[in-house]
């Protein structure tokens, strides 16, 4: 690693380690809906030795700080609110007291937006709603804002839902259940999801599937989410096919309906691409640069 890069990463890691969330020992709302084995390790004081990738989280902190600075002084807006109920402590990014809304910022990448929001993220923001409610706030809705580090304002995605105490309490009960285990539960994530992002990977190693039975999904949250995904994906394919058929009917037509729906066709320039053949002719090869790897989800319905 280049010396200046090593120094940069080192000072960023040290600064991040000083933050209250980094030094927090108790289980926070962001972890409650996640891997049960990770929760067990945290609750039982296991010291993870796996050095995880830190830069995305550090960049996320910087974005949070910029947002906090931008909202500072806005009437009806409370920022970085620490809330506690018993041993549960959470840090809510923004509370809109006028709207009764809880908001949490999530920094991500454009490639990962297709997985937003996750079940864990939804559980987290509902627990934030519970903490706020129990501390005297009028909570009507909870929401998540996904901000891609490699995108622009047009790529930001928003999830908003009514506050649901049932989800919050189920998530808290889930963590309390794990606290009662005498041994850590089985790993829930594949190794490629854990190796760079979980400090306990050196102890755990992730889910090791050796038999067909080891691949069986027993997590009810994952099971429900997967069935819902298959259902919505089928609906999406049907809608897309219908829309394509309608476009064929509309092809070449233009005008406006009696109730004001306007149809107009405009010519759009074709996509500009690199002429690789010409580059090879001039310099003999095409320079290539690999982007950051990402995970692609593959779902098949074998029923």
Boundaries of every domain in the chain: 3-216
Instruction: Find out if CATH 1.10.3720.10 is the number for domain 3-216.
Output: no
Does pLDDT of 10 surpass 90?
A: no
Torsion of CA 226, 220, 123, 185, to 10 degrees: -120
Does pLDDT of 276 surpass 70?
A: yes
Half-sphere exposure for 258 (CA within 13 Å, toward CB): 0
The Cα–Cα gap between 50 and 30 comes to 20
* Cβ count near 242 (within 10 Å): 10
Q: Which helix (H) or strand (E) holds 283?
A: helix 276-283
Task: For residue 22, name the pLDDT band (cuts at 50, 70, 90).
Answer: very low
Does pLDDT of 78 surpass 90?
A: yes
- pLDDT, residue 290, reads 62
Task: For residue 20, name the pLDDT band (cuts at 50, 70, 90).
Answer: very low
Strands across the sheet containing 77-85: 77-85, 88-96, 101-108, 141-148, 157-162
Contact by Cβ (8 Å): 142, 109: no
Q: Give per-residue pLDDT as tens, 215-244.
A: 677 777 777 788 888 888 888 888 888 887
Mean pLDDT confidence for 159-184: 91
Torsion of CA 169, 172, 177, 181, to 10 degrees: 180
Does pLDDT of 133 surpass 90?
A: yes
Q: What are 299's two structure tokens? A: 């779902």
Nearest alpha-carbon partner for 104 in 64, 157, 147, 144: 144
Q: Going by C-beta distance under 8 Å and a sequence separation of 6 or more, which residues neighbour residue 117?
A: 106, 144, 146, 159
Partner residues linked to 90 by β-bridges: 83
The Cα–Cα gap between 146 and 107 comes to 6
Q: Can you spell out the DSSP letters for 19-57?
A: SHHHH--SPPHHHHTS-HHHHHHHHTT---------HHH
Q: Which residue has the higher pLDDT, 287 or 44?
A: 44
- pLDDT, residue 132, reads 96
The Cα–Cα gap between 174 and 88 comes to 13
Task: Indicate if the alpha-carbon torsion angle 215, 217, 222, 226 is positive or negative.
Answer: positive
Torsion of CA 166, 172, 173, 179, to 10 degrees: 170
């Amino acid at each position: 690693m280049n010396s200046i890069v090593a120094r940069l990463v080192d000072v960023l890691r040290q600064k991040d380690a000083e933050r209250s969330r980094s030094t927090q020992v108790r289980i926070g709302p962001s972890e409650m809906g996640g891997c049960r084995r990770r929760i067990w390790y945290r609750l039982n004081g296991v010291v993870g030795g796996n050095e995880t990738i830190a830069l995305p989280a550090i960049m996320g902190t910087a974005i949070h700080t910029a947002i906090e600075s931008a909202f500072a002084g806005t009437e009806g807006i409370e920022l970085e609110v620490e809330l506690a109920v018993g041993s549960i402590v959470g840090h809510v990014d923004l509370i809109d007291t006028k709207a009764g809304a809880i908001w949490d910022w999530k920094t991500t990448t454009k490639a990962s937006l297709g997985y937003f929001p996750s079940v864990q993220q939804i559980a987290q923001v509902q627990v934030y709603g519970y903490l706020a409610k129990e501390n005297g706030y009028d909570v009507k809705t909870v929401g998540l804002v996904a901000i891609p580090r490699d995108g622009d304002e047009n790529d930001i995605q928003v999830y908003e839902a009514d506050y649901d105490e049932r989800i919050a309490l189920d998530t808290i009960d889930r963590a309390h259940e794990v606290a009662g285990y005498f041994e850590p539960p089985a790993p829930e994530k594949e190794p490629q999801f854990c190796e760079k992002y979980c400090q306990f990977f050196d102890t755990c190693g992730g889910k090791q599937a050796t038999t067909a039975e080891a691949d069986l999904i027993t997590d009810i949250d994952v099971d429900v989410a997967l069935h819902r995904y298959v259902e919505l994906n089928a609906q999406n394919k049907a809608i897309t096919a219908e829309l394509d058929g309608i476009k064929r009917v509309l092809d070449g037509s233009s005008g406006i309906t009696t109730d004001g729906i306007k149809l107009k066709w405009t010519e759009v320039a074709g996509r500009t691409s690199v002429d690789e053949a010409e580059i090879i002719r001039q310099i003999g090869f095409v320079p290539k640069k690999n982007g950051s790897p990402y995970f692609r989800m593959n779902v098949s319905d074998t029923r």
